[in-house]
Amino acid sequence: MTHRNAVLLVTALTLGRAPLVFLFAIGAVIHAFHPEALWLASLAFAALVLAALTDLIDGWLARLLQATSRFGAHADPLTDKIFYLTVLPVLLFLIARHGGWDAHAVMLLAFTVLFLLRDQWVTFLRSVGSEYGADVRANWSGKLRTAISFPTACAIDCYLIYQPFWLPLPLIYTLEIAGIVINLLSIVIYTRQYLPYLRRAL
């Protein structure tokens, strides 16, 4: 495979995350109003899992085939944000539609708000740091956050649809708490990393 074709393959996987996320959102919302159509929920869940897998596969392929590109470096975080901005609110909506899971809804709300606030804060830090030549690439805490959050979203949706015995609600809570902790940790790490640039800007 030529380098150009490898880059195109990796880029296609990255960009393919967005339509899969939208397919999940549409299918999940329609199923919420037509719960008898279990096949629709299963289709939406499959799209969500595939979207999450593209984040793992495109990075692995990019390293394996040495198929990195500037466009891909920008497209990957964009499609990650499309995932978060779409999937987390949809999951909140689904929990609200189920009813009776107030504690779970509050937990996921905290997870979602903190997740989005962290993204905005890090974007602000990077914009300040870029004015002074800072390295604005994602650090290990950002990558760990993504690595945990994608499967957590899939696990929540799986629980809402099937409630399998091997995926009890306490495990869902554990995953959400881990996501909250990692988001807080990421905020602290990025703030410390960019603190010198903040001071210079002030």
pLDDT tens figures, 112-150:
999 899 989 998 999 999 888 888 777 888 888 888 899
Domain edges within the chain? 3-201
Instruction: Identify the sign of the CA torsion 177, 183, 189, 191.
Output: negative
Q: Which residue has the higher pLDDT, 7 or 101?
A: 7
Could you tell me the pTM of the whole model? 0.90
Which range (55-59, 92-96, 106-110) has the least confidence? Answer: 55-59
Q: Which residue has the higher pLDDT, 101 or 113?
A: 113
Find all residues with CB under 8 Å of 33, minimum gap 6, and list them: none
Which range (132-136, 172-176, 185-189) has the least confidence? Answer: 132-136
pLDDT at 20: 96
DSSP-assigned letter for residue 164: -
pLDDT at 198: 92
pLDDT at 68: 78
Which residue, 158, 152, 147, is CA-closest to 108?
152
Tokens in use for 67?
């198929």
Q: Which residue has the higher pLDDT, 99 or 134?
A: 134
pLDDT at 55: 84
pLDDT above 90: residue 159: yes
pLDDT above 80: residue 93: yes
pLDDT digit string, tens, across residues 35-73: 999 999 999 999 999 999 998 888 788 787 787 777 877
Which residue, 79, 49, 55, 54, is CA-closest to 157?
49
Task: Tell me which CATH code domain 3-201 carries.
Answer: 1.20.120.1760
Average pLDDT, the chain: 89
pLDDT band at 100 (very low <50, low <70, confident <90, very high): low
